[in-house]
Each structure stands twice: as C-alpha cells, then as structure tokens.
C-alpha cells in the first residue's frame, strides 16, 4: 500500500539539503505554475536560485533544466498531486544538467524512457516523488556528484527503478521500489549509501555492478544497510538482449564485480533464487574484455543480516549449480566465480547462521585481523558502518561547467550517451563499437541522428531525441564517440 504522509516525508532528510539550499540567496523568486500552463515556460523564466511551485493538475510535457540552483517543487493539496503524464508518447518527464537541482512532490506516469534523469549535474536532490510505469528508468542520475535520492516510491520500471550511474557521493535512502526489473542499481559508482529502502517484488532487489565498456571503470565503497529486500521474484521483463534482462528472477542482492561493498543489517527474505549473490562480470555478460576494469569483486563484507526463506525455487544456472551441491533449493548467500578466493579480501560474520556456498575461504568479519583493519581505517572494530551517517560531501561539490568544446563533449558523452551505450556491451542502446562500425568517420550523420532519431534496429527501442543539445555540441559529441577505444 502506498502511504505518503506529506509532513513526515518533508521533514525526513531535510537537513541534508541545507548545505546548498542555504546558498541560493535572499533574492530568489517563487514562480507558480497551474494546470493549463507549461512547467518548461517557468523554467525558461527562472534565474539561478529560483523556486518553481507546480500546483495539482495534469501536465504532459518534457521539462529540461539546464540552469544552476533551480528547485522544482510540486504542491500536494487534499491528496491531489501535480501529475506529469507522458501518455506513452513522450520519452522523458524531467531532465536536468544544472547543478544544485532539486525536485520533489511530483507524480510521474507513462513515459517511455525516464521519469527523472540527471545529465552530469552535481549537488542534486530527488525526494518525495511518486513514479509509475515511466519506461526504462525511474530515477536516473548519470555522472553526478553529491546527491540525495530519498523518500520516493517507484513501480513498474522495465530496467531499474532507481539507477545511480557513474556517480560519486550519493545517498539512496528510505525509498520504496517494487514491481520493476531492478529495484535499486548502483553501476560504476563510488561512495554510495543505500539505506532504509524497501525493495519488494522486483526481479532483483538491490544491485551493485561494474559494467565493462563504460568511461568510469570502477565501483567501490558502497554500503547496503538496513534495507528490506523481500520477495523479489517478478519474472524479468527487461528489454530482450539488454544487460538487465539477464538478471535471474528471485535475486535479493547481487554484487557483480563491485569492490569494498558492505552488506549489513538488512532483512533479506523470500527471494526464490538466492538472498545475496557475489560474483564476477560473466554472471550476466559473456563479455568482460575491458582491460581497465577488474571483473572480480574484492573486499566484500557481509555482516549481521537477517535472512530466511531464500532459495525456494532457483532457476537457470543457479538451479544447475545447486544440483551439483545435491540441493534443490538456492542459498541465502552465494559467492560464485571470481568471488570465492581468500585473496579477494572478503569476509562474512555469523557464517553458520546462513545457507552459504562459496564462502569457505572468506575471513571472519569479527576476527582480530579484520578488527585491526577497521581500526586502521578509523572505524569502530567489528562495527564498520554504523557510525557512518552519509556518503554525501560535507560541502557542495564544485559545479560542473559544460562548454562547447572537446572537454564539454566528454562530459556530455559521460552524462548522457553512456547511460545507454557502453563501448562493447549491449545496454539499452547498441554498443559504441557497433555505432563506429556503422558510421565510420561520418560524425555529421551521428550529430543529425542525435537531434532527430528514428527507429533503425527492430531489436532496440527508439532513441529519445537529444535536441536540447546545441548543434555544435552534437557535432563535438559525435566526433568524441568515434574516437573511443574502450
């Protein structure tokens, strides 16, 4: 049951915003938008520091915010929300590339691509939104630094409800994600806290991945703590051939190649394939040829989780693997492929409390050696994360500046294009390597396609237009794409 209480959600986490909201200045204006008016017109009118209040009503548009320090706030009155509906015609509800962007209290439904997507903006806040059936991604900050994703409810997403891509210093707190392929996915990101979320009835509950072929080659320092990961048994309805379509139903938490991931104090139950899977890149892709990316997970810690009723009906490769163990049920915890070796530096606490496979060589998290490592790192011995309140920065990150030059094109590629195109692995769009083979040195044709794409491949969804980019920038991004080698 969805139960959003305006006052309680508004209070929760508000202190985390104070650092940059306080810098907006005393001269900020409030711009009001009511049903029948366009939100984009208010954005066009706004100056940095302004707050846009959107009143209840139905709005069918794509809102693009490329200015710094803009707050987009819905007004909920008597249970009525400002409602962005794409009618399955529009691709995106809200796109932002500005720094210091805040969006909250919107209902977003029936888009084809994304509900809220960040395109390289730093110091963002995405709170208290209600997202249903928004296409490929729900909340998707890409290549951002220092952000908060809190108290959102999302369902019916065909890739990831919350997808943190190539980002740093991010808190994902107190969200509800259900009936999607991936509930929460942390991909090629660093310094992330995933805490207090409910991930229920997805294909996979919470994922920490390193995807090969992306510009950022690592994913490390993630805390997965105090979440409820329940009954994630929804059949996979991801786009056929995409990376996420390979996730087996019934998977609670998957760490694929991620390093320094701590899974602590979670309740993980009712996931029919397995509760926790720690594995290498070939778990969901046969291509692990990115020489800049280590395909194996290192220094994973599994500490003090409550786990029961997992593995009731394993499927596919998991079922075959468990049969080799003379078992017809899946495990609470599985370390698999490149995750089993002692030299990987992983540890587990209360090993005998779970049905676990592949962790025989893992250290005991409560051993004197691990405690000494904690002390060296400045943590409380045998209590490694409980004193950590946030992964966000104590001061705002430096704003990203995107100019129409080669360095700006690199940022745009990382903040927009790499969300769907890895170099040699299929994501939502074709690999960059395939695009290079198709276009050769014809950057002009790619630039034209970016602005006005059409469906060319029956096995890929239609690319959304990126016509908010200037013509010179589209040309620069196309040239940059053609120079990539990994």
Sign of CA dihedral 462, 463, 467, 468: positive
Q: Averaged over 290-316, what is the pLDDT?
A: 89
> Within the chain, what is the greatest distance between any pair of CA atoms?
70
- Are the C-beta atoms of 57 and 88 separated by less than 8 Å? no
- Identify the sign of the CA torsion 475, 477, 481, 484: positive
Predicted confidence (pLDDT) per residue in 70-123, tens digit? 999 999 999 999 999 999 999 999 999 999 999 999 999 999 999 999 999 999
Instruction: Quote the pLDDT of residue 19.
Output: 43
Cα 307 from chain centroid (whole Å): 24
What local confidence, expressed as pLDDT, does residue 473 receive? 85
Q: At what angle do helices 406-415 and 471-483 cross, to 10 degrees?
A: 80
Residue 84: beta bridge partners? 59, 108
Which of 355, 313, 320, 181 lies closest to 254, judged by CA?
Answer: 181
Q: Beta-carbon neighbour count of residue 394 at 10 Å?
A: 8
Structure confidence at residue 16 as a pLDDT band (50, 70, 90): very low
Alpha-carbon distance of 180 to 202, in angstroms, equals: 5
pLDDT of 427 above 70:
yes
Q: What mean pLDDT is predicted for residues 41-51?
A: 97
| Per-residue pLDDT at 212 exceeds 60 | yes
Residues 117/143, Cβ–Cβ less than 8 Å: no
Of 160-174, 369-383, 404-418, the poorest mean pLDDT is in 369-383
Looking at residue 383, its pLDDT comes to: 56
And the tokens for 58? 């139905």
Q: Is 372 a residue whose pLDDT tops 70?
A: no
Q: What is the pLDDT of residue 410?
A: 80
Residue-wise pLDDT tens digits, 250-300? 999 999 999 999 999 999 999 999 999 999 877 665 555 667 778 889 999
What is the percentage of the chain residues whose pLDDT exceeds 90?
59
Q: Which two tokens stand for residue 97?
A: 């590339």
Question: Is there a contact between 207 and 184 (Cβ–Cβ < 8 Å)?
Answer: yes
pLDDT bracket for residue 249 (50, 70, 90):
very high
Mean local confidence (pLDDT), 370-375: 57
Answer whether residue 307 shows pLDDT above 80.
yes
pTM of the full structure: 0.88
Residue 478's Cα: distance from chain center in Å? 25
Give pLDDT, residue 14: 42
CA quadruple 282, 285, 291, 297: dihedral, nearest 10:
-40
* Mean pLDDT of the residues in the chain: 87
Q: What is the mean pLDDT of residues 206-214?
A: 90
pLDDT of residue 10: 37
- C-beta of residue 227 within 8 angstroms of C-beta of residue 178: no
DSSP states of 144-206: -EEEEEES-EEE--SSEEEEEES-EEEEEES-EEESSSEEEEEES-EEEEEES-EEESSSEEE
Q: Which fold has domain 406-483?
A: Cytochrome Bc1 Complex; Chain D, domain 2 (1.10.760)
């Amino acid at each position: 049951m969805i139960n959003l209480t305006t006052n309680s959600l508004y209070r929760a986490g508000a202190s985390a915003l104070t650092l940059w909201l306080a810098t907006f200045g005393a001269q900020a204006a409030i711009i009001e938008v009511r049903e029948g008016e366009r939100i984009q017109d208010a954005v066009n009118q706004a100056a940095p520091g302004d707050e846009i209040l959107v009143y209840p009503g139905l709005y069918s548009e794509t809102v693009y915010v490329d200015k710094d320090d803009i707050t987009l706030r819905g007004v909920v009155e008597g249970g009525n929300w400002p409602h962005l509906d794409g009618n399955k015609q529009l691709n995106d509800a809200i796109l932002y590339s500005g720094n210091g962007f805040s969006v909250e209290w919107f209902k977003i439904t029936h888009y084809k691509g994304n509900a809220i997507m960040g395109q390289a903006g730093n110091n963002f806040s995405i709170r208290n939104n209600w997202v249903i059936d928004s296409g490929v991604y729900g909340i998707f900050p890409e290549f951002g630094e220092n952000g908060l994703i809190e108290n959102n409810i999302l369902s019916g997403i065909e890739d990831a409800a919350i997808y943190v891509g190539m980002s740093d210093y991010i808190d994902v707190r107190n969200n509800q994600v259900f009936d999607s392929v991936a509930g929460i996915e942390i991909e090629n990101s660093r310094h992330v806290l995933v805490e207090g979320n409910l991930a229920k009835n997805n294909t996979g509950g919470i994922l920490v991945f390193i995807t090969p072929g992306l510009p950022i080659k690592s994913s490390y320092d993630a805390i997965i703590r105090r979440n409820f990961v329940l009954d994630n048994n929804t059949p996979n309805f991801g786009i056929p051939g995409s990376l996420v379509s390979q996730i087996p139903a019934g998977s609670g938490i998957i760490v694929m190649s991620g390093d320094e991931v701590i899974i602590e104090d979670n309740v993980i139950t009712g996931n029919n394939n397995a509760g926790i899977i720690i594995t290498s890149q070939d778990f969901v892709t046969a291509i692990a040829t990115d020489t800049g990316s280590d395909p194996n997970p290192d220094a994973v810690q599994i500490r003090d989780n409550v786990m029961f009723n997992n593995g009731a009906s394993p499927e596919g490769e998991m079922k075959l693997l468990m049969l080799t163990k003379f078992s017809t049920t899946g495990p609470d915890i599985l370390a698999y492929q490149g995750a089993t070796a002692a030299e990987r530096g992983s540890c587990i606490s209360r090993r005998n409390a779970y049905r676990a496979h592949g962790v025989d060589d893992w250290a005991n998290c409560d051993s004197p050696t691990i405690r000494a490592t904690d002390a060296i790192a400045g943590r409380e011995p045998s209590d490694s994360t409980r004193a950590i309140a946030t992964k966000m920065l104590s001061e705002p990150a430096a704003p990203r500046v995107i100019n129409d030059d080669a360095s700006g094109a690199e940022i745009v590629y990382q903040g927009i294009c790499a969300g769907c195109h890895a170099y040699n692995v299929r994501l939502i769009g074709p690999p960059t390597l395939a695009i290079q083979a198709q276009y050769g040195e014809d950057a002009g044709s790619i630039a034209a396609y970016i602005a006005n794409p059409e469906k060319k491949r029956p096995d890929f969804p239609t690319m959304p237009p990126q016509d908010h980019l200037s013509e010179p920038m589209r040309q620069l991004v196309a040239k940059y794409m053609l120079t990539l080698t990994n």
